[in-house]
Structure 1
Amino acid sequence: MGDRERIRGLEEVLAREEIRGVLMDLARGTDRLDAELIRSCYHPDAIDDHAEYRGGPEGFADWVLEVLPYFAATMHFLGNIRIEVEGDVAHSETYCVAHHLTRPDDPEGERDISMGLRYVDRFERRADAGWRIAQRRCVWDWANTLPMDVKHAFGESYTLGRRDREDPSYEREEGA
């Protein structure tokens, strides 16, 4: 393998890592209800197709902040991620299991609404923003709803998650 091939290979690895970071940031932004982080994952002219929402990143972030607060918590867990890079365009397929926990005052009781889905994305690398989503389509594979039978009260010693920028994941400790 010559130097050019090595450099091209390293550039592809770096592109995949940047894309993976965008995917993780979008999951985090969604679960933390962080509109700024959500928007930063898309190019301004991107299109997102989430079935119930189809449109640009501004509207998508607004939709997330309108819909997801009806749940006590959400967690989008990303699994298999396949990324194919072709110059300044990349295509990815990301498996996701998304949990949506209903609030205690939900008329149907506390439930875990979980979904298996895949994000089929087109990424573009642009000079002004790097790798960002240009087009996203959600592919829905399955859904399941389970009652929340077991209650677990977290004690005072537990660090609890939040759905805003006060979540501990936004903190940066000195010396870390």
Structure 2
Amino acid sequence: MTTSTDERLHYFIDKQEILELVNRYCQAADRHDHDALRALYHADALDDHGAFFKGLATDFIDKLPDIQAPMEILHHNVTTVNIEIDGDYAEGEVYILAFHKAAGPDGSIDVLIGGRYFDKYEKRDGEWKFSHRVVVADWVNIQDPSIVNLEHPFVAGSHIGCPGADDPSYAFFKLIKRQTP
């Protein structure tokens, strides 16, 4: 079966829109931008973080302010991405490295997770959004206490990222839009 150039272009445009959706998720999660996260999911979308949370994505996002409160740093990195598209439905296996620096009762800890997102996407009203996401941890590295040191002389004077609207990206970008809390 021969695929026309128009069909191939449509496929690659859809694939790029899905890749951008995945990247916007990481951006919104790291900035604790819950409104931006909410916009990435269909209203009936499901989120499955294992025993941690399983249910409607909107309910998970409602819980994120409490979940993220101790998070001093969140840094999600997408690596390998495998996407298959069938019309207005697609699936993705997205490999991630997610770093967390979290405050605890005895000081901060670092958690580096190598994992994958098992995603289902649907294009409704011309827009790709998540319809179901499952989070899978393949490995975890925990440093207790934290080994992150943003006050070391090596980084003196550097711009330091942070959750929320105080992150330097909010003031820098004109085209890359951020939600404001």
User: Which range, TM-score by smaller chain?
Assistant: 0.7 to 0.9
Aligned residue for 1:79?
A: 79
Aligned residue for 1:110?
A: 108
How much does 1:173 deviate?
A: 5.4
**SS of aligned partner of 2:35:** helix
How far apart are the structure 1 equivalents of 2:135 and 2:148? 31
Aligned residue for 2:88?
A: 88
Aligned residue for 1:41?
A: 40
**TM-score, L = length of structure 2:** 0.85
**SS of aligned partner of 1:162:** coil
Aligned residue for 2:132?
A: 135
Contact 1:116–1:143, Cα closer than 8 Å, also in 2:
yes
How much does 1:95 deviate?
A: 0.5
Contact 2:72–2:162, Cα closer than 8 Å, also in 1:
no
How far apart are the structure 1 equivalents of 2:32 and 2:39? 13
Distance 1:15 1:175, change over 3 A: closer
How far apart are the structure 2 equivalents of 1:75 and 1:11? 32
How much does 1:150 deviate?
A: 6.1
How much does 1:170 deviate?
A: 2.6
Letter in 2 for 1:63: K
How far apart are the structure 2 equivalents of 1:172 and 1:39? 24
Aligned residue for 1:21?
A: 20
Mapping of 1:153-168 within 5 angstroms? 153=151, 154-155=155-156, 157-168=157-168
> What is the aligned length?
171
Distance 1:85 1:145, change over 3 A: same
How much does 1:117 deviate?
A: 1.3
How far apart are the structure 2 equivalents of 1:85 and 1:21? 15
Contact 1:71–1:102, Cα closer than 8 Å, also in 2:
yes
> Which residue, 122, 131, 149 being the options, matches 1:151?
149
How far apart are the structure 2 equivalents of 1:20 and 1:137? 17
How far apart are the structure 2 equivalents of 1:173 and 1:87? 34
**TM-score, L = length of structure 1:** 0.87
Gaps of 5+ in 1: none
Root mean square deviation, CA, Å: 2.3
Letter in 2 for 1:26: Y
